[in-house]
Structures are given as structure tokens and as C-alpha cells.
Amino acid sequence: MSNTTTPTLGYYRLQGIAQPIRLLLAYTGTAYTDKQYDYGLTADTYRVHWLKDKFTLGLEFPNLPYYLDGDVRLTQSHAIMRYVGRRHGLVATDETGLVRQDMLEQQLVDIRVAFAMGVPFSWGNNFTADKAKYINDTLPPQLAQLSRFLGDNQWFTGRNINYVDFLAYQQLDWLRQLSPETLATVWTESDMGAQ
């Protein structure tokens, strides 16, 4: 692992699943190259940008996002988050924190999948109904669970910020943009013990 190279984060020219990585890198003051690929809606546009690099980077599992740091070549957004978190001491250090860290990370994956299946992939005739169903039925219980899990802690794993807090922040920000009133209402009710 080299400390003399500037790491590179490769992803599409959008926030997506790389945004928590960018936030974590900014928080840690890590100088890095943000290699952004155009995301085209046609196979030809897609091939021109990402596919020309895909198999030339020495990645075990070529995919986006990727992170290159000297000899370290990573794909998978959570593996990248864990790596950067470990490098900067932003991981749990005791068993209780590790359990909370691991559990929250997987819960956030479940929330992201429910969001993706409930809203963005539903751009057809049922979008409005599917969005309303997600906001009314799926989102409130998920947010209430997160609020209870956070409890009185400042951060999800306890008293110290952790890489999963950046994952949670980005997920909550997406949900806030989708339905600000739901996020505010559920979080407030849960804090007051109503749910």
C-alpha cells in the first residue's frame, strides 16, 4: 500500500452509491481523484465511457464504484467504505460497536433495496401509486426502526462517528428528498416514543 499516490474513486457522474464514499473522503481530508464516467442511456454510450476502462484497471471484480490506492484495488461500495474507515480510525473498536456497525450496514442495504424496488424502478404507469405506497407503508416503519436504533446516541454506533454514519446520512438524505414530511414526522414521533 503506497502513501505517495493519490487514490482514485471511479463512478458515474452522479451521486448514487459513491456519494457516501465521497463524503467520507471529504471528512477525512483525503485528497483523491474523482474519476467520473458519463452514464448513457444507450449501450453504445455506456460502452464508450466505462467499458473501455473496465478490464484495464486490475480489479478482481470490475465494477463501479472502484477505489485505487497504491496496490489496493477495490470494488463494492461497502468494501471501499470499510477500507477508508479503517485507514482513518472510523470503525467500531469494541464488540458492541462492531455488532451495531455490522447490523446497521446491512439494514441500510435493506432500506436501499426497498427504496429501489418501491420507487425508481417503477417509472411506468404505476409510479404515482407505487411512490405513495412506499411513502405510506414501507418508509415509516423503517425510519422508526432507525430512530429507535440511534436512541440517545449521537452516532449510530455510539459516541464516535463511524463509516456507517456516512452511509446512513446519504440514505436519509435520499429519503428526505423523496418525502421530507415523512422523515420529519416519523423521526419526531419516534423520538417522543410514539412508535
pLDDT digits (tens, 9 = 90+) for 10-40: 999 889 899 999 999 999 999 999 999 887 6
pTM of the model: 0.86
Per the structure, the complete domain to which residue 163 belongs is given by 95-191
C-alpha cell read off for 195: 412508535
What pLDDT is recorded for position 2?
Answer: 45
Peptide bond into 65 cis (omega under 30): yes
State the Cα–Cα distance between residues 89 and 37, nearest whole angstrom.
Answer: 30
What pLDDT is recorded for position 179?
Answer: 85
Same domain flag for 100 and 122: yes
What pLDDT is recorded for position 67?
Answer: 98
Report the mean per-residue pLDDT for the chain. Answer: 87
What pLDDT is recorded for position 3?
Answer: 56
Question: What are the C-alpha distances in Å from 30 to residues 3, 89, 135, 190?
Answer: 11, 13, 36, 36
Per the CB < 8 A criterion, the answer to whether 162 and 150 are in contact is: no
- Domain membership of residue 3 (yes or no) is no
Same domain flag for 182 and 114: yes
Alpha carbon of residue 90 to chain centroid? 15
Write down which residue in 88, 121, 138 finishes a domain: 88
State the Cα–Cα distance between residues 109 and 104, nearest whole angstrom.
Answer: 9
- Please give the tally of structural domains in the chain: 2
What pLDDT is recorded for position 122?
Answer: 55
Task: Show the low-confidence residues of the chain (pLDDT under 50).
Answer: 1-2, 190-195
Q: What is the 3-state secondary structure (H, E, C) of 2-65?
A: CCCCCCEEEEECCCHHHHHHHHHHHHHCCCCEEEEECCCCCHHHHHHHHHHHHCCCCCCCCCCC
What pLDDT is recorded for position 187?
Answer: 56
Same domain flag for 136 and 154: yes
What pLDDT is recorded for position 193?
Answer: 40
